[in-house]
Structure 1
Amino acid sequence: MKTIFKMMALLMAVGTMNAQDLPDGQTIAEKTYERNEGNSVKRTLIMELTDKRGKTRVRETTALRKYFGEERRLIIFYNTPTSVKGTAFLTYDYPSAEVDDDQWLYLPALRKTRRISASNRGDYFLGTDLTYEDIKLETKISRDDYNYKTIGKETIDGHECYVIEATPKDDDIAKELGYSKAKFWVDAKVWMMRKSESWDIAGNPLKTVNVSDIREIQGIWTLHRIDVQNHKTKHKTVFRFEDIDYSTALSDDYFTEEALVDGL
């Protein structure tokens, strides 16, 4: 009997020690920002949108990203189909949490550029199942919106991941994001999110996101596919990244409000 109690005590001690050895959630979130993304990248982004009846629509875009010091800019130009050709989205991701990011959407049918306010960052991005905020972050975890708790390690597609739980820091952030809580699986080697689950404001399951086909391109770990399932609407979106190039110099002029209208 004494031996059994000793073994139980040892197992409990090991479990406590392992939990203490895990990095805290905030550190994991910060690490997702520290990885090398290259100074700039050009790529083709194909979006496949499938409704609950199984009907699929395809959007092909060109996505450009560039760093201006610590400021990160992303612009997406829609190429096909003709019904959305010319639509463009631009975001300025500022390093300071005290400054709201700037986002603009150009709709050629209206010949108008619309500014996306911070309060709308939880809106869905042009019929997809990712929000404007999700598009901006890609495989990063927000450093500023959540309180985190590391709950363990799990393996996703053969890759060891830290698992963290996240709750918005206040009610206003929860309403902006559209999430009451979230759970993230972050690759312990390359510091990219491989999976996330989120719950709506009422606490109901909302979305599951799976990131796959992460491999090195020109020495930089790069995602190639994101699958998103919306559990409330039964809608799903697949994002496929192709023709990825970190070496081509991108003009600063691409990342302006004027470029939204002028296109590539």
Structure 2
Amino acid sequence: MSVIRYATVLMMMLIASGVIAESMAPAADNISGEEVFRKCGYKYPGKDQVSRFTVLLRNDDGQVKKSEYIRVWKDFDGIDQIADKMLLFTIYPPDAKGASFMRVAYTKEQQYKVDQWIYLPVLKKIRRVTVRDPGDSFLNSNLTYADVAMRALEDDTHKLLGVKKVKDLEFYVVESIPRETKPLYSKRVFWFEKTVDWKDCSNVRIDYYDTKGELQKEQFIKWQRVGDAWIWDRVLVRNRQNQSASVFELSGVRINTGIREDVFSERSLVQGLKLEGGGEDSPASREDGKKGEGTGDVPAAAVTNNVLDGSAEGAARK
């Protein structure tokens, strides 16, 4: 899907917010919510990834803050009960350049525990960062640590609400209610794009409802294909209760580069990395940015700026 088409669909989905129950059609193919999750919920991300990671944050006063990182990620596939590891090396803003961050995420057997460390060159020290609450903000964004953590299918009950049509696209809409007694959200509603072939079905939107049952935030996801892997290209999160927003972008993605396990170390935090070439490139990295950022057709600003300057919010109200 091109960025222009995605922007159009995004606006339509924003307009459709809050009217799900009124315009939902029943699913004609007699499939359950759990089956939709099984077929569409998991996407192969590659064995490892190297990319440029950009984060744009708009607070409720409309001020925008930008950060850029080199992101190094590796799937550990449950070995030693480790789900994955990630390194972030700050390249922007200039006064934060040289700072780095490492996260180790564990599997369900370890209650999805997270270990993380940060290196600040000014202090010349590595500090362990403790996550006291899964509801804490991830990178000061609208996503929490719980939102970016792995979650097993059986952790929730899944009900197919029906099929939602937005312009020329159709979406399976699935309501997921957590089984735990003190959940972070009362429910989440997932939108999966309905496609001819199940292998092309993907999650493009998540609505989060707070413990009082009120819509708290919306997350929109645009995917890119790199080889046989599905990598998110752009993620947009809008808090509906305070109007803050976050945008996450991955560009220049390379997968399956053969990153060694020992790369994820305190030494790398301090000294940085020199990664060898290889692996499969995203279209953006092959084109070297000549046709625009992210997907190789138009700049990412076609989607991003509308949200950060508030015009998407205005479009949704019209």
C-alpha separation in 2, matches of 1:258 and 1:30: 39
Most deviating of 218-227 and 33-42: 33-42
1:28 equivalent to 2:36? Answer: yes
Query: Aligned runs of 1:170-185 on 2, under 5 Å?
Result: 170-172=180-182, 174=183, 178-185=184-191
Q: TM-score, normalised by structure 1?
A: 0.77
C-alpha separation in 1, matches of 2:177 and 2:152: 11
Question: Residue 198 of structure 1 aligns with which residue?
Answer: 208
Aligned to 1:148, the other structure's residue is in SS state strand
Aligned to 1:211, the other structure's residue is in SS state strand
1:61/1:76 contact within 8 Å kept: no
Alpha-carbon shift at residue 197 of structure 1 (Å): 0.7
2:105/2:112 contact within 8 Å kept: no
1:80 equivalent to 2:95? Answer: no
Question: Residue 132 of structure 1 aligns with which residue?
Answer: 145
C-alpha separation in 1, matches of 2:74 and 2:166: 30
Question: Residue 120 of structure 1 aligns with which residue?
Answer: 133
> What residue ranges of structure 1 are gaps of 5+ in the alignment?
1-14
Alpha-carbon shift at residue 230 of structure 1 (Å): 0.8
C-alpha separation in 2, matches of 1:58 and 1:238: 10
Alpha-carbon shift at residue 233 of structure 1 (Å): 2.2
Alpha-carbon shift at residue 220 of structure 1 (Å): 2.2
2:116/2:130 contact within 8 Å kept: yes
1:146/1:169 contact within 8 Å kept: yes
1:74/1:136 contact within 8 Å kept: no
C-alpha separation in 2, matches of 1:60 and 1:127: 14
> What residue ranges of structure 2 are gaps of 5+ in the alignment?
1-24, 274-318
What percent of counterpart residues are identical?
A: 21
Relative distance call for 1:28 and 1:122 in structure 2 (3 A) is farther
Superposition CA RMSD, Å:
2.8
C-alpha separation in 2, matches of 1:61 and 1:16: 43
Deviations 1:3-27 (A, max 9, x none): xxxxxxxxxxxx98837x21332x4
Question: Residue 54 of structure 1 aligns with which residue?
Answer: 62
1:209 equivalent to 2:219? Answer: yes
Most deviating of 46-55 and 153-162: 153-162
Amino acid at match of 1:114: R
1:147/1:169 contact within 8 Å kept: yes
Relative distance call for 1:157 and 1:23 in structure 2 (3 A) is same
1:145/1:168 contact within 8 Å kept: yes
C-alpha separation in 1, matches of 2:267 and 2:193: 38
Decide which structure has greater strand share: 1
